[in-house]
Each structure stands twice: as structure tokens, then as C-alpha cells.
Structure 1
Amino acid sequence: MKPVWILVADSSRARIFSAENSAAELIEIETLSHPQARLHEQQLDSDLPGKANGTMGAGGHNYTDEVSPKEQEEINFSKTVATLLCDELNQNKFDKLFVIAAPSFLGDLRRAFSTRLSKHLVFSLDKNVVSLTPQEIRSHLPLSLSV
């Protein structure tokens, strides 16, 4: 039987754990870091928004991005995490995936997951527990990791 994998993440850090069975302890097998997500908005985008002149002498308007640079960094990191998980799934390293992630980042992850990876997702929880110990993280998972 393949081990189950547990992803614990927020916008700047992702930890991947493995467990052989429901009673086994969580073993951390990978840690990804994305320090850009910790930067302030001004550090990510130093330019001021562009301006457009109004018609007939009306005042100008600022152009704004639909996604802020900070949000874009979170999206980029979620794609990096999803790509890693897809690659590992393609190598048959796990069968079931459990995800606990900060609420806004969980949404980014779900959008980044491929259809195939989503089929292996058996549990998700919107909670930021990335800095907890493996034993504390385990307490947020179902008693049986064979869901």
C-alpha cells in the first residue's frame, strides 16, 4: 500500500508529510519556501499605477490590476506546490492526499490542482497549521487516514 501524503501550507511555506498508515507518525519529506509572499506590497511592485486621461477634459483615472502583486505571488506559489504534487503523483509516490492550508491559500491550491490530482484529494481543512509540530498537525486530521 502506498503511503498517504499530507500537505500543510500557507502562502509562504508548504510542508509535505508522509504516513504509512492511520497509526503511523507523520514524517516530513519536503519543505518548500516562498519568501516573496512575505514581502510587503510596495516591495513587490515599486511602480505607481498607470494613468489614463479622461475625455473632454475630465480627470484621469488610475489603472489597477485585477490581482495585486502579493496575490499573484500566492498564486505562483500554489502552482509550484501543485506541480510538485502532480510530478510525485505521476511517479506513484502516494495515492491519497490530505491538505490543511490557510483559508485563502487553500482556494489558490484547489484552483491550481489538476483534475487528476483533485481526484486523489480525500480531505481538506481551511486552517493555518504550517508552524505546528507533526503531532499537533496530526490532531487536525481524521483519525483514520484511509478516508
Structure 2
Amino acid sequence: MIEISTDKSKLNINVIHKYLSEESYWAKDRNIETIQRSIDHSLCFGVYINDNQVGFARVVTDYTIYAYIMDVFILKEYQGKGYGKSLMNAIMNHQELQNLNRWGLATNDAHGLYKQFGFESLSKPEIMMEIKKKQPITEK
């Protein structure tokens, strides 16, 4: 049975670190200290089957205007079973996120999933700006 929880004490940092640093395309080589700090400062969602963590996502938000969804994953052996959709449902329906005006996320390969929740390409990408710095890699 699937459980989705925002209880950070249930998160398995080793599962999260292994996936993000070894299997994701966006967080390769991210060290465990950086991952822990990002968890500490985010609203996190763990996906569990029989108390084993099989998925994760975090939301960076001010709980008033804006939320950015990051580091979303379901472990490879659990993909294709609807767990990603359940995770997104939990995020989008979380009580503390209901009055937001704007949501954001970035993806290379999951547009179909996110479109089901109302996400679309930027209407005015020309007004968006960013600074992208390479994270210093520290010893693991």
C-alpha cells in the first residue's frame, strides 16, 4: 500500500542521495550534505510502500504566492505504476499550498505527467531570467 508523507523524520537520506547523485540527470554528483540542507529548507514529500521509501519530491515555497517543485523521482523499479501521479496529487492538494498564485518546475522528460496537473510551457519565457552557477563538488 502506498503512503505519501511530509514527515521529514521518515525520509531515508541514503535513498534520496543515491538516486539524485547517481541516477538523476539534474543532480549528478550532488553531495549528501547539500541534499540534507535542501531537505531542511523545503516542504518534502516521501513516497513509501510498506515503509520503504520509493519516491521523493520537495517544494520550495513561501506558502503565500509561489512554489517550485524540485527533485521529483520514483525509483526505477516502481515507475509506471501511478506513484508519480499520486505524488503530484499529494503535492498539488496539500492544504498549505492551496492559495498560491504561481507554481514552477523544470523537466526534460516528464511533460505529460505535469500537464495533467495544469503545468504548461512558460507563456512569456523572454521575461524569465536566471543565474546558473556550477555547484562546487566536495568530497563524498
Which TM-score bucket, shorter chain as reference?
0.3 to 0.5
Structure possessing the higher relative contact order (Cα contacts under 8 Å, 6 or more residues apart) = 1
Tell me the TM-score normalized by structure 2: 0.32
Larger radius of gyration: 1
